[in-house]
Amino acid sequence: MKSLFKTLFLYSILFAFLPIQLRAEKQPIQEYHQVTVLLGKEAGNVEKLVADLLKDRIIEKSDVEIAITQNPENAKGLVILLGRPEHHSSIQEQFVKYRIPALTDLAPGPEGFLLRQLDSNLLLAAGIDDRGSLYAVGEILRQLNYGKDNISLPSNLNIRTAPAFEIRGTQFGQSGVAKTLAKVRDWTDQETQRVILDYALAGANTFSVDEGPMYDFIKSFGLMTQGGFGANTASEVKDPLWMASESIGRGGYVCPSVPAAKAYMLQKFEEFAKTSPSYDFLKFQGGDGGGCECDRCDPYGLTFIHLVEEMSNIMHKYHPKTRIYFTNQKFDNADDEAIFEYLNEKPRDWLWAWGFGPGSDATTWQPGHRQTHRMDLFRYPGFGPYGLYPLEITRQMPARHKLLYYNEITHWKYAQHAYVQMYPRADKNGDLPPHWGHDIYERRPDQYLTQVYNRLSFYAWPKQYHRVFNDLMPYGIGDITHSSGNHDHFNQWMWQRLLWAPRTSVEDVVDDYSKNWFGPEAAPLMAKAIFQLEENLGEIPGKPLPEKEGILSYYQLVTEAGKVMPENWKKSNWLWRMYLQKGALDRYTQLMVNRQIQLQTEVEELVKTGSAQEVSDQVLNQALQKLRSEKMESPEMFGLKEEAKQLGEESNALFGSRNEGFFNLEHDFIGLGWLDRQLNRALAAKGKHRKELLAMITDYENPGEGGQYDNLGTANPAPNVVFGYPYDHGQPYVQQMLSEGNRPSQRSMHFTQDEAQGVTLHYRDLDPNAKYKIRFTLVRPWYQDRYASRMNQKSETILADEQVLAQDLEIPLQMSDHFTFEIPGKLTKDGELHIRFQKAADLAYGDRVTVEQWRNSGGWGTLVSEVWLIKE
């Protein structure tokens, strides 16, 4: 003890005579024109890399003089004592001098740090371990303000913190959409490394990575790595006897119940394990894609978990410290129950965690199309459906195993937590979500913006993802999120910050992000813009895109942020350019939709007619000429497009990023193609028929006095529909599926799959003495090649009170059409009428697997878009 005090006394004498003072002095905060990062004499490689990182990030935004040294005599200006206390005698001295409690596993906690300003020229940045030092640097960078040749810090800085969750990870890289549709350049290795470090500075400690230079780079900073292996993935195998019955019929997977195929996969994994680096974690993905639906594998969950156990034993032979987990993506209830029984049968020491990702949730109907759901968990909603199944998993599996998330926060539509494309279809048991979970399924993308932007488009969702995080994360030990590019930049950054401090409010996260990426001057404007962007992206009932004031206000906010952003922030800020591109493109789209609606209105005014007057051929030709020759792009729109082009070229040059929407602006948003066709049909018709055709143009939805109109599809008024559900196409919607010439109401529809009963409408309170006719809008989608081979449906039968109106009526492909039938008077004598659609006889037949693949990839039995019951 005497020796320790003697040592500390000598240190205090030494530091008293240094050129800079390491003693605490109560001085006001000030600007620093010189900075010294002082490392300990025994600093390790990670601490040295972290010091270099701090220096590099500071000089990107300021010309401040900054040096790194391990010699206290060379320290000048603001001195940052950086590193682990056991490697740094100066840090040890300050802990003793100021009676600072030691860093422990409880205070602050593993991977934690202490950031404390001891006087105006001395900043303590002590990490409990190597990663703690890295995260201390992240906090310094978030706290700094940058001048042209100086930096400054808030006064009385004193932050002692550690992450709340053990696992905090993500993926990195450019998306295929960015490369093909946005036409961006490839990242350099240095840019890829920068992305990794950006998320690490936000708190990430784990990255999914393949063997190679990036693996080595990640490990050099003391971070953790994740590898992955598809338990039945073998795209190189072509033997048809080995092929798996994947849930949507994808190739490239083998059936593990075929002995030769299983042996092949085990040998393949042995080769993988031999040559792979020592990953900290190894994930076995259960499905999406992968898995096998055949009877031999049923329940696939049990087949899968036994195979993964054998593979894990191989992995641990070569890499005994690698932690193993699996995901239950696209499994059904029987699969999960089989795994629960397996885990509870006896200790399974080889398994670390259960992974929960897209298609894992038995209490939501999100894309991933889980085939059955745990309806027994819905009796009391609690905080909503997101957390019900994670809670059930932790309740059923042994406590030795953990729940690790693999959350999908990269797609803005048709994904795990994204906007639904359409209201979800029933699962194979016919189950649909209970009413109290409907807020998930009422979130839809703006129906015009969704035509411009890919699923992997640039966006930010602070409120939605903050809600999802807080609903899900109480049951897990962390998350290694799914990311397919850097278009989800905000979402991934926010997720890492919440994994560190989950009680942070959404407002504070957005403020922190905005200051960190755009500087304090622009931060308030950008924070407001980010919240506005989230609102703009969604469909707002009663407020279509042309009426959304937020589109213009978002664009103006980001523009103003650029004006107040100092040049040292703005010159290389690719991210601000991405936000402004989004604003310019959204505003362009809004104006184009408005222009198309205006043109439609002008054409309607031309052809409006009274009951005693027929519209002439001349007027119809004039309307067609106007429709086809009108200039659609205004000077304002042209300027927005040019601005987006310039911004995209700059963001691509700066960081290989650009909004793909720029290359996808030309659309028929409102169905002008239908209007063109209807005018041509009217031109060819005469008398009453012409008037009927034109009446559909000028008063489309009106069924006339005593009539009724049903607009089928998600969130549309269809009061007479009693069976069927909105069609979601069973796959991400692509532009070719339906012609944009269709009106919006023609593009949405109700459908049924292999049920005996088709879409059904029930009319009541009809006039028993009147005659009625019925008009349908029908259209069927085009399918991508990988789905088309099993889609033989083309027709349906229509019945009125079990009397056939149309037998095996072929539905038009892609472009809708109208079909009108007289209703026999005897059918409405009782004041009621049932209209029922019936599927063709030759579809949805075959073995169980074939039918399930057909269902899972968008198969339909009956399909209808609109119905008018017209009283004659």
Domain boundaries along the sequence of the chain = 2-161, 228-385+392-404, 701-872
Mean pLDDT, range 191-202, rounded to an integer = 98
**Binning pLDDT at 50, 70 and 90, where does residue 294 land?**
very high
Q: What is the DSSP secondary structure assignment for residue 599, as one 8-state letter?
A: H
Distance CA 846, CA 128 (A): 62
How much is the pLDDT for 384? 87
Contact of 55 with 90, CB cutoff 8 Å: no
Task: Determine the topology of domain 2-161 in CATH.
Answer: Chitobiase; domain 2 (3.30.379)
How much is the pLDDT for 610? 53
Neighbouring CB atoms inside 10 A of 549's CB total: 10
Measured over all CA atoms, what is the biggest interatomic distance in the chain, rounded to whole angstroms?
Answer: 113
pLDDT tens-digit profile of 571-592? 999 999 999 999 999 999 999 9
Which residue type, as a one-letter code, is found at position 505? Answer: S
Residue 183 C-alpha from the chain's centroid? 21
pLDDT tens-digit profile of 72-110? 999 999 999 999 999 999 999 999 999 999 999 999 999
Distance CA 284, CA 273 (A): 13
How much is the pLDDT for 23? 34
Neighbouring CB atoms inside 10 A of 667's CB total: 15
pTM of the model: 0.94
**Binning pLDDT at 50, 70 and 90, where does residue 6 land?**
very low
Distance CA 665, CA 456 (A): 16
pLDDT tens-digit profile of 308-333? 999 999 999 999 999 999 999 999 99
Q: Which 3-state string (H, E, C) describes 491-557? A: HHHHHHHHHHCCCCCHHHHHHHHHHHHHHHHHHHHHHHHHHHHHHHHECECCECHHHCHHHHHHHHH
Out of 3.10.20.90, 2.60.120.260, 3.90.1170.50, 1.10.1740.10, the CATH code matching 701-872 is 2.60.120.260
Minimum mean pLDDT range among 587-596, 608-617, 633-642, 715-724: 608-617
Contact of 168 with 205, CB cutoff 8 Å: yes
Neighbouring CB atoms inside 10 A of 854's CB total: 26
Quick one: which H or E segment has residue 652?
Answer: helix 635-655
Distance CA 631, CA 608 (A): 23
Mean pLDDT, range 197-207, rounded to an integer = 98
Nearest CA to 234 among 257, 252, 259?
A: 252
pLDDT, mean over the chain: 94
Contacts of 544 (CB under 8 A, 6+ apart): 447, 448, 593
Nearest CA to 604 among 723, 473, 695?
A: 695
Cα-Cα end-to-end distance for the chain: 105
How much is the pLDDT for 29? 63
**Binning pLDDT at 50, 70 and 90, where does residue 10 land?**
very low
Quick one: which H or E segment has residue 569?
Answer: helix 567-570
Strand-pair partners of 160: 114
How much is the pLDDT for 638? 98
* Res 712 pLDDT > 50: yes
> Is cis: bond before 108, omega within 30 of 0?
yes
* Residue that the structure tokens 């040592």 belong to: 7
Quick one: which H or E segment has residue 168?
Answer: strand 167-170
Give the torsion through C-alpha atoms of 360, 361, 366, 367, to 10 deg: 10
Mean pLDDT, range 422-441, rounded to an integer = 87
How much is the pLDDT for 11? 39
